[in-house]
């Protein structure tokens, strides 16, 4: 609720919903559309597990400007929790 007010008021330029904490894809889509309508960039917060990164990358792919957070830091939860690692090449 507070995040939506900040977006509506134009107080943020980048919105980073964490799909694992906000309620999943439906809520992220709602926030993403609101951000898009007000000129903010929706970029999912994906620092955590490989499962969160995979979900965030899938959601980001539905956006007009498909960006997602990606850490290069070593993390067993990010690299070993999923069977197939996600590789970003040339920024994509």
Tell me phi and psi for residue 14, to 5 degrees. -125, 130
Domain span holding position 46:
2-79
Residue 91: inside a domain, yes or no?
no
pLDDT for the residue numbered 75:
73
Residue 91 clears pLDDT 70, i.e. is over it: no
* Domains: count for the chain: 1
Residue 85: inside a domain, yes or no?
no
Sort residue 86 into left (φ over 0), alpha (ψ -120 to 50) or beta: beta
Mean pLDDT of 4-33: 92
CB proximity list for 65: less than 8 A, separation 6 or greater: 41
Is residue 45 within a helix (H) or strand (E), and if so which, with residue range?
none
pLDDT for the residue numbered 84:
66
Helix (H, G, I), strand (E, B) or coil at 8: helix
Mean pLDDT, all residues of the chain = 84
């Amino acid at each position: 609720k507070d995040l939506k007010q900040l977006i509506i008021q134009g107080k943020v330029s980048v919105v980073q919903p964490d799909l694992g904490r906000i309620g999943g894809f439906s809520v992220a889509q709602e926030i993403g559309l609101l951000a898009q309508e007000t000129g903010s960039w929706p970029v999912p917060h994906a620092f955590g597990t490989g499962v969160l990164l995979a979900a965030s990358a899938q959601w980001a792919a539905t956006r007009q400007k498909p960006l997602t957070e990606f850490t290069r830091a070593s993390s067993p939860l990010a690299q070993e929790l999923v069977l197939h690692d996600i590789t970003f090449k040339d920024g994509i």
